[in-house]
A and B are shown apart, each in its own frame.
Chain A
Amino acid sequence: MGWRKWFLVGLALGLCVWALVKVAPPSRANPSVQADSRGPSQYLSSGVFTTAHSSATSAVTDFLDVHPEHPAQPIAYTHKVHLANGLKCEDCHVGVDQGPDARIPGVAFCMTCHQAIDTDNPEIRKIAAYAARGEEIPWVRVYNYSPSAHVKFNHAPHIRAGVQCASCHGDMTTQTTAERKVNLNMGYCVQCHREKQVSVDCELCHN
């Protein structure tokens, strides 16, 4: 037996991990909001144990800090082109200097320019089609934190402090759709906080 057995087990494990990494869906839902509204209240039944993660997949990807690096987006948007045309980050990502979120603009916002600009482009036609249907473009999230990190990131103080967008989001002049080029783990945040002599109190971000 010996080495053959262990080789097989290792191979199996390796296959599993590879499969998880490649196939894991981006985590969207908050695992805590699980109740279905249609049936009798969850409250009225006795406690049923549910895990913190909704599946083993999600637990493992969370633990291994696996993120989709460059997910496919419904529209082949290119940051490169827009930035080259003189737009600045905050022109579309409105509110990034006022609050926690840098919002992705809605389809109505895109159409303010694209009802006239480059209307023959098939991708623009797709956008127009969404707008005509009253539907938002279903962008796939690139930047988020795992819910189990219980971290709240607030853009506004960073922008006010003069942190460049590229520090965390990479050089967008080289990107089409967003790519997670920078490894945004806690060490990255703490390192910069230490350099700039900003508080590293846990509750500043985890509350």
Chain B
Amino acid sequence: MERRNFIKISALTGMLATLDACGRPDQELIRFVPEEDLIPGIATWKPSVCTLCSAGCGLLVRVMEGDAEVVRHGQRGLMQMGLAKKLEGNPRSPINQGKLCARGHAGLQVLYNPDRITHPIRRTGARGSGEYQAIGWDDALKELSTHLTALQSAKATNSLSFLTRPLSGQRRELIERFLKVFGAPPAVWYEPFDEAVLRQANFLSFGHGALPTFDLGRADYVLSFGADFLGTWNSPVAQSVGYGEMRQGRSGRRAKFVQVEARMSQTGANCDEWIACRPGTEGLLALGIAHVILSNKLAPQGAAFRAGSLIAGWSAGLPESTPEAVENQTGVNAAVITRIAHEITKSGSGTAIIGGAPLAHTNGLFNALAVNALEALVDRGRDQGPILGFTPDPAIGDAGQPAVSAPTGLAGLNSLAQSALGGQPNAPQVLFLYEANPIFSAPPGTKIREALARIPYIVSFGNFIDETSAQADLILPDHAPLESWLDSIGESGSLQSVVNLAPPAVAPLHDTRAMPDVLLGLASQLGGDVAKALPWTTFDALLRAAYVPLRARGGSIDPKTDDDFWTALQAQGIWSSTPGTASAAGSRSAAGASSPAAARRAPTAPAAPEFAGNADDFPFHFLPYVSQSFGDGSLANLPWLQELPDVLTTAMWSSWVEINPSTGARLGIQPGDLVEIGSQQGRVRAAAVLSPGIAPDVVAMPVGQGHDNFGRFASGRGANPLSILATLAERETGSLAWAATRVKIVRIGAPEQATLTLFSEGRSGFPHEEESR
């Protein structure tokens, strides 16, 4: 046909084709009557608690009306409901004082994550196959209760195990009480980066088995041994507030900050002086500095008292810790050691902090005791007392209970695994899983994956399928934190007692149920002593009973009646003690330790660290570090955090290995090359980043990527450094010595084989790298 006609006809048919697409409305969902009365466009701010790390920051949630797709009476439809739009720090919290960290903001993406489990499911295929069938709550709870009554009938209640991460507040209480009255062993409180070593050291040195609180805003000299206190360690937001103060918050005074570490962390990047110290020798370095102070009498006699007396040779002035000797042990210049000793004592108020890798060695407790002794020696504050303090115990429930359940660490996990693998009579028959992912985060030597395979019945209460909950037979999904009644007791970050308590900020989006309510429901179904010990029908009733007694302690809420107190507490989200009144004397006892035992303790001699792997075959120290984006890996399924550029490398969506440039040159490794890091336990591969901020014999890798089953954003991405760790433990506490594994490095290939996405440079080796932006 002629071209003109062809064009005409094509044009006409084209138009008619598009016409065809119109006139058909979208499949419209019905709209349910709303369950809340909100004015559209107007925000209400509700209090809540951030649960993404253990700091216990207070939140304010911006709630606005919006349309959500929900299921009601088995039918899908739209409903106007309060939606969480933004999180901010709660200004009432003495801990975070209205501020919030990067991870805290991303908590919204837990609530609205597309990979959340939306209703109870029961496994139909093999474990890990991902085949499930939907099951109603009533049936699910009936099934669960059947398993428990079976244990009761068989007099095998000690075969119930509960595996979770250390929790604060009444969730902890509820779980402990349930297990105790049921006749089951105590819970296994596991997280990979627990702070058991530091709590034990603080108990011995200062009488408080708790995480420390540093009033950095009053400091003039901060000497930190490995603590990422501005990033991920302890109470990072509170510490950052203090940091800002100590730098530019006081006219005429600017504190000096010295960081001692083998790999420059985000915190270390802000220091005035960076000191590279051989891994595991930080305690020796602290003693070297202490030696100079003691021998030159730069501090008052007996200043370190109890903390000092725990160190062998202290009263003699630490004769073996001369700067020259310590230089040999640590690699830190003797002149630097001497100078720092003079600087810190001459400053108005100095403080020494320890955290992170130095505690994660086989001699971690010694390192901590040594730094604590140095801290006691130098920290005399100016007018208001020492910089180091401890959050007073509000004494909810049993007096002297630590704010956070003592982590059972590797020991607890090992004993669970061995009991399951050993096939003993009291081997676990039923396992409850909640907020713990040891298949991902525990070293392979714990054999936890094999152990779980032996446990006949596993129930998970988590929000997501992850490597561990994929082994569950029944999943009873908990509400997201913002949909839950939340409470926690501040362990550190403030010198006031802090109790966070908040009702749900938004209504549940899916067919989920609060884990505490499920436990209480189970208790009532089990009847007998269990039901009697847990008489509440809902968690908020339990919370009310637990916290209304706070009213007698005065503090930030001043009501006339118990009801008023409860209402005010829910509205404000936080109770705090009046500053300066609560005594810090209420001691927090570390599990199993008591003061007389501490007093009887023989002084600790300096201990050298041990490593897994010999130095010839495995020439490098391996440092897996807690990620600024993902914490211990549990936040890798949040897209904002995946796309957040790592502040030191700008890497997004990636794993990488940090190697010193001279090491890279020696091994022929170029930036972006694919390298393999191998330990005795296994191998991981990732792109190499050449960084001047790491010692030549150390390689570092951020924790968090390397999930194989954790949703669409995290799965199949990067590598998991925890999977090649040895199961070395700190000698006394049994805590995982995650910095004690040695590795070797092999170059595998060019950048095209690795996937490293950098915000500053695009993808290294990406075929289109010639394209300009």
Chain A residues close to B by CB (< 8 Å): 1, 5, 8-9, 12-13, 16, 19-20, 23-25, 28-29, 37, 40-41, 43-44, 55-57, 94-95, 98-101, 103, 106-108, 131, 134-136, 138, 154
Contact = CB atoms under 8 A, between A and B. Distances in A.
A117 B589 CA distance: 68
List 3 A-B pairs, minimum CB-CB distance, nearest first: A99-B41, A95-B39, A100-B41
Contacts of B34: 106, 136
B22 A138 contact: no
Contacts of B21: 55-57
Interface string B543-569: 000000000000000000000000000
Given A23-B23, A94-B39, A103-B40, A57 B18 contact: yes
A28 B31 CA distance: 14
Given A9-B8, A25-B22, A94-B39, 10 more contacts: A16-B16, A24-B23, A29-B26, A40-B712, A41-B114, A43-B639, A43-B712, A95-B42, A135-B31, A138-B31
Nearest to B716: A44
A101 B66 CA distance: 12
Contacts of A55: 18, 21-22
Chain B interface residue number, banded: 20 to 34
Query: Do most interface residues of chain B lie in helix, strand or loop, or is the interface mixed?
Result: mixed
B31 A25 contact: no
Contact of A25 (B4, B19, B23, B77): B23
A98 B18 contact: no
B19 A20 contact: yes
Nearest to A39: B712
B26 A131 contact: no
Interface string B67-94: 0000011000100100000000000000
B769 to A, nearest CB: 16
A135 B80 CA distance: 12
Interface of B: 4, 8, 11-12, 15-16, 18-19, 21-26, 28, 30-34, 39-42, 72-73, 77, 80, 114, 639, 712-713
Q: Which of B4, B21, B22, B25 has the most CB of A within 10 A?
A: B22
A162 to B, nearest CB: 20
Contacts, number: 89
A154 B114 CA distance: 32
Contacts of B23: 23-25
Contacts of B713: 41, 43
A25 to B, nearest CB: 5
Contact of A20 (B22, B25, B31, B32): B22
B712 A41 contact: yes
A23 B31 CA distance: 24
B31 A136 contact: yes
29 contacts: A12-B12, A12-B15, A13-B15, A16-B16, A19-B22, A20-B22, A23-B22, A28-B26, A40-B712, A41-B114, A43-B712, A43-B713, A44-B712, A55-B18, A56-B18, A56-B21, A57-B19, A95-B41, A98-B39, A99-B40, A99-B41, A99-B42, A100-B41, A101-B39, A106-B34, A107-B33, A135-B33, A136-B34, A154-B41
A16 B19 contact: yes
Contacts of B72: 134
Contacts of A28: 26
Contacts of B73: 134
Contacts of A44: 712
Contact of B41 (A16, A101, A136): A101
Given A25-B25, A41-B713, A135 B18 contact: no
A95 B40 contact: yes
Given A5-B8, A57-B18, A131 B33 contact: yes
Given A20-B19, A23-B22, A108 B33 contact: yes
B42 A98 contact: yes
Contact of B24 (A5, A25, A94): A25
B114 A37 contact: yes
A98 B34 CA distance: 20
Contacts of B32: 134-136
A100 to B, nearest CB: 4
B222 to A, nearest CB: 40
Contacts of A23: 19, 22-23
Contacts of A100: 40-41
B62 to A, nearest CB: 14
A138 B27 CA distance: 13
Contacts of B31: 135-136, 138
A28 B41 CA distance: 18
Nearest to A136: B31
Contacts of A99: 39-42
Nearest to B712: A41
B710 to A, nearest CB: 13
Given A55-B21, A57-B22, A138 B33 contact: no
A106 B40 CA distance: 12
A12 B23 CA distance: 18
B81 to A, nearest CB: 12
A12 B12 CA distance: 7
Contacts of A8: 8
Nearest to B78: A136
Contacts of A13: 15
Nearest to A152: B41
Contacts of A40: 712
A56 B11 CA distance: 14
A123 B534 CA distance: 52
